[in-house]
Structure 1
Amino acid sequence: MSQPAAPRATGSAVAAEALLSSFAQAGYARAEPPILQPAEPFLDLSGEDIRKSLYLTTDARGEELCLRPDLTIPVARDYLASPAAGQAAGFCYVGTVFRYRGGRTSEFLQAGVESFGRGDRAAADAEMLALGLEALAVSNITDVDIRTGDVALFAALIEALDLAPSWCRRLVKDFNRKASLAEDLARLTLASDSARKDYDGVLSALAGSDRNAALALVTDLLSIAGINAVGGRSVGEIADRFLEQSTLTGGTLPRDIRVLIERFLTITGDPDEALAQLRTLAADARLDIGAALDEFERRIGFMAARGIDTAATRFATSFGRGVDYYTGFEFELHRKNNGAEPLVAGGRYDSLMTRLGARAPIPAVGFSIWMDALGAKGCAR
């Protein structure tokens, strides 16, 4: 992994070096990915909306590049390009990232940990949370709100409901992007065939197809038609919206399914309380989500074994970080009563590795720390 310019010797940088020492003691090797990165993975994985936050350029071959806005994807790409790809390996990092954030500085320091290839997912999840808490303790921050969730539980629920693939993709996508799922459920439940469009046959054909192939087809058709942008939306955004509408051609979402999903999304409490409520819901609705619940229970055990006070940990089935590639456990660590601004945040992102080119799925989990947030009001991811 190549060596970037060393971060400026600020208080944040000194604190970050102390964190790296603690991560190294835990067995994580230092990763130092290049500052200049291909833009495509960020745009593909986070959507075209992130474009307005990136610092972009183009090389002599026409490849679009960007200053890294985050370190998770660069570290993952370097791991996949290394001889260790597919094997268990852990990395820690500290480095400058670049992202437009309105009135705040666009150049800031990020530290973190990424763990790849571990099959013991529940134990690895708990370790990430424990390391995040230890990182705050190194910075003398111990009065912390622990907020957790698990998108895998929502995905297991949707799969158990035996919905059409297009419905499953739509609902999980809205959950991950922090869309107003309640509003979306209401709109989809009230969707009516009375508002059919002339091109509904095309939408129906796309609804059950592979999403990436369908997106490529629609994008090509728009390009052939000479459409570059409409109403400020790029071709990619237009195509994505077109595919989104294909979901609505499969009929309405049954009201009893909507009620069950809404009941699921109200579950909250400490992890043990939430687990009990989830097992009750599964039994009442005769849902086969036992494997996901058993994994959740194993994680709770590993958290307790790591010394984490699970009774003081908040879990909510509706909690999500708004990142498409998260596939399981997610968490944020906040100063007590600090609203929406996390100091540390991360989670499990198994699907990212194949989307970055891995030939087979590779388990992956990690977290990031915003160093300027440790001494001042936070800077969200």
Structure 2
Amino acid sequence: MSKREKQAIGQQILAAFRAAGAQEVAPDLLLPAETLLDLYGEDIRARAYVTQDSIRGEMMLRPDFTVPVVQMHMQNGAEPARYCYLGEVFRKQDHGETQPEHPRDNEYLQAGFELFARDPDADAEVFALFHGVLKPLGLRASMGDMDLLMDAVRALPLSGARRAALLHHIWRPHRFAKALARFAAPCEPRTWADSTAPWTGLRSPEEMQARLDRLRADAAEAPLPALWVARLERLFAIDAPAPEALRELRGLAADIPDIAPAVDRLERNLGLLSARGIDVGAIRFDASHGRHTMEYYDGMTFSFTAPGRADWPPVATGGRYDALAAVLGQAQDRAIPAVGGIIRPGLVHELGGLA
């Protein structure tokens, strides 16, 4: 498959995004690494290409478009605003010890759409746009809601420190499960002998004392009741056609009232999608869907995957990222809700194109 063929598909997608009112933008290819590391953490080093510049410092080949588009919007964008783009992103791929028959590309084309608006219909607008563009391919649509999961974690009868630890690992299911199991078990007694030895190390005595105080407070905390563990596991396991999932969530909201507003938003979004002519019964709602997407999504998430291509990444992904937009808008004292997504033209081409 040639780059020209991928570009042709990408231009078709861009045309659909422009028809939806988006302004085309072209963010830089080289981005300051500091901002991306602050947002994503050091984990991104394992997936991104980083280089040094004697003037600009540490730089990173663009791992995605969202951050530079948000930064551009916060500088001078109006509200509401719609943007679209087409270009390469660069990510290292860990193929393990054996090279797969069809390895993922380290450089691949993305076509994307981002919406900055306070309109409560924005989630449905973006999902419906992607659904319409990709309809000829017969893809499987899935959605989730990270806000739903985070509200459930915030409702747990735990200390603020333990809730914060679970929220930190919510996008890392294995670490999350280990932390949840630890918090549900009685703490083993721990003692710290008094000592007259001088403090040593890179941390200050105040920092080390604060750490000891946190460990003592954690050791004294009662374990999370098994009932709450079961409720959380029941929520994370919901995976059904959207209307059926909504009924399950309504039942669970009786036990976890804090998730009721997120359930109401899901019901409203499904109603808006139905009004746009979309069969919501064909959409899979996976409560844990967002735990396997980009870590900056904090609301609705969605993906479109190709049936029978389990070894492929999703053809399209997206979601809401209000917190990321707020963080990047701090310098301009701006915060505006945002939702968007990307499509991989190369995979669309392999599926026969959009014609």
The TM-score with structure 2 as length reference comes to 0.82
Amino acid across the alignment from 1:261: L
Q: Separation in 2 of the partners of 1:177 and 1:25?
A: 38
For 1:68-147, list aligned pairs within 5 A.
68-84=62-78, 87-102=79-94, 104-116=104-116, 118-121=117-120, 123-137=121-135, 141-147=136-142
Cα shift at 1:362: 1.4
Amino acid across the alignment from 1:169: A
Query: 2:348 pairs with 364, 369, 374, which one?
Result: 374
1:274 aligns to 2:245 (yes or no)? yes
Give yes or no for contact 2:190–2:219 (8 Å, CA) kept in 1: no
Q: Deviations over 1:219-254 (max 9, x none)?
A: xxxxxxxxxxxxxxxxxxxxxxxxxxxx77755333
Give yes or no for contact 2:24–2:83 (8 Å, CA) kept in 1: yes
Q: Deviations over 1:62-118 (max 9, x none)?
A: 62111111111111111111242xx210101101112222454322211110111x2
Amino acid across the alignment from 1:97: V
1:318 aligns to 2:316 (yes or no)? no
Q: Separation in 1 of the partners of 2:34 and 2:223?
A: 35
Segment of structure 1 superposing worse, 166-175 or 296-305:
166-175
Superposed CA RMSD: 2.6
Cα shift at 1:194: 2.4
Query: 1:190 pairs with 185, 189, 193, which one?
Result: 185
1:44 aligns to 2:38 (yes or no)? yes
| Identical columns (%) | 35
Cα shift at 1:163: 3.3
Segment of structure 1 superposing worse, 170-179 or 336-345:
170-179
1:299 aligns to 2:269 (yes or no)? yes
Question: What runs of 5+ residues in structure 1 fail to find an aligned partner?
Answer: 1-7, 208-246
Amino acid across the alignment from 1:149: G
Amino acid across the alignment from 1:174: H
Q: Separation in 2 of the partners of 1:281 and 1:298?
A: 18
Give yes or no for contact 1:348–1:365 (8 Å, CA) kept in 2: yes
Aligned to 1:220: none
Query: 1:364 pairs with 338, 343, 354, which one?
Result: 338
Distance change in 2, residues 1:13/1:267 (3 Å) = same
Question: What runs of 5+ residues in structure 2 fail to find an aligned partner?
Answer: 95-102, 194-206
Query: 2:163 pairs with 160, 163, 168, which one?
Result: 168
Distance change in 2, residues 1:62/1:13 (3 Å) = closer
Cα shift at 1:9: 5.5
Cα shift at 1:46: 1.9
Q: Separation in 1 of the partners of 2:289 and 2:223?
A: 26
Q: Deviations over 1:247-286 (max 9, x none)?
A: 7775533322212211222222122211211121222x26
Distance change in 2, residues 1:292/1:205 (3 Å) = farther
Give yes or no for contact 1:147–1:313 (8 Å, CA) kept in 2: yes
Give yes or no for contact 1:200–1:249 (8 Å, CA) kept in 2: no
1:203 aligns to 2:211 (yes or no)? yes
Highest Rg: 1 or 2? 2
Distance change in 2, residues 1:27/1:260 (3 Å) = same
Q: Deviations over 1:345-376 (max 9, x none)?
A: 01000000122233243101000112222234
Cα shift at 1:23: 0.8
Cα shift at 1:184: 3.6
Give yes or no for contact 2:30–2:62 (8 Å, CA) kept in 1: yes
Cα shift at 1:306: 2.0
Residue aligned with 2:15, SS = helix
Count matched residues: 323
Aligned to 1:349: 321
Query: 1:333 pairs with 304, 317, 339, which one?
Result: 304
Q: Separation in 2 of the partners of 1:201 and 1:260?
A: 36
Give yes or no for contact 1:161–1:287 (8 Å, CA) kept in 2: no
Distance change in 2, residues 1:269/1:55 (3 Å) = same
